[in-house]
Amino acid sequence: MTLSAQSILDFPVPQATHVVTARDAILYALSVGYGTDGPDAALKYVYERDLATAPTLANIVAHPGPWMQQTGVDWARLVHSEHRLTIHRPVPLDVPLISRSRVLSVVDRGVERGMFVSFKRLIATADSDEPIATIVQTNACRGDGGCGSAGSAPEPLSKVPDRGPDLEFNVDIPDNAALLYRLNGDLNPLHVDPQAAGRSGFGRPILHGLCSFGYAGYAIVAAIDPGMASGLSAIAARFSAPIFPGETITVQIWRNDAEIRFRGLVASRGATILDNGMARLS
pLDDT digits (tens, 9 = 90+) for 10-30: 999 999 999 999 999 999 999
Between 133 and 77, name the one with better pLDDT: 133
* 6 phi-psi bin (left φ>0, alpha ψ -120 to 50, beta other): alpha
pLDDT band of 112, cuts 50, 70, 90: confident
Give me the pLDDT at residue 38, please: 63
DSSP category for residue 110: -
**DSSP symbols for 79-108:** EEEEEEEEESSPPPSSSEEEEEEEEEEEEE
Measuring CA to CA, which residue among 36, 84, 20, 46 is closest to residue 233? 84
Q: How far apart are CA 61 and CA 131, in angstroms?
A: 13
Q: How far apart are CA 224 and CA 66, in angstroms?
A: 35
For CA atoms 279, 77, 65, 128, the dihedral sign is: positive
Give me the pLDDT at residue 89, please: 97
User: 63 with 105: CB under 8 angstroms?
Assistant: no
Q: Could you tell me what percent of the chain has a pLDDT over 90?
A: 84
pTM (two decimals): 0.94
pLDDT band of 282, cuts 50, 70, 90: confident
Q: What is the mean pLDDT of residues 151-155?
A: 96
> In Å, how far from its chain's centre is CA 239?
9
Q: What is the mean pLDDT of residues 185-209?
A: 93
Task: Collapse the DSSP code of 264 into the 3-class scheme (helix H, G, I; strand E, B; otherwise coil) and give the result.
Answer: strand
Between 41 and 162, name the one with better pLDDT: 162
Over residues 38-87, the pLDDT tens digits come to 667 789 999 999 999 999 999 999 999 999 989 989 988 889 999 999 99
Say if strands 167-172 and 248-256 run parallel, antiparallel, or are unpaired. antiparallel
Give me the pLDDT at residue 36, please: 82
**Mean confidence (pLDDT) of the chain:** 94
C-alpha separations of 120 from 24, 253, 280 in Å: 23, 27, 20
Q: How far apart are CA 225 and CA 241, in angstroms?
A: 28
Q: How far apart are CA 7 and CA 13, in angstroms?
A: 12
**DSSP symbols for 170-221:** EEEPPTTHHHHHGGGS---GGGT-HHHHHHTT-SS----HHHHHHHHHHHHH
Q: What is the mean pLDDT of residues 182-196?
A: 94
The Cβ-side half-sphere exposure at 146, using a 13 Å CA radius, reads: 6
Burial of 5 per CB tally in 10 Å (0-12, 13-18, 19+): buried
Q: At residue 1, does pLDDT exceed 50?
A: no
Between 1 and 115, name the one with better pLDDT: 115
Over residues 216-251, the pLDDT tens digits come to 999 999 999 988 888 999 999 999 999 999 999 999
Give me the pLDDT at residue 140, please: 94
Give me the pLDDT at residue 39, please: 60
**DSSP symbols for 124-150:** EETTT--EEEEEEEEEEETT---S--E
Give me the pLDDT at residue 45, please: 95
Q: How far apart are CA 166 and CA 190, in angstroms?
A: 35
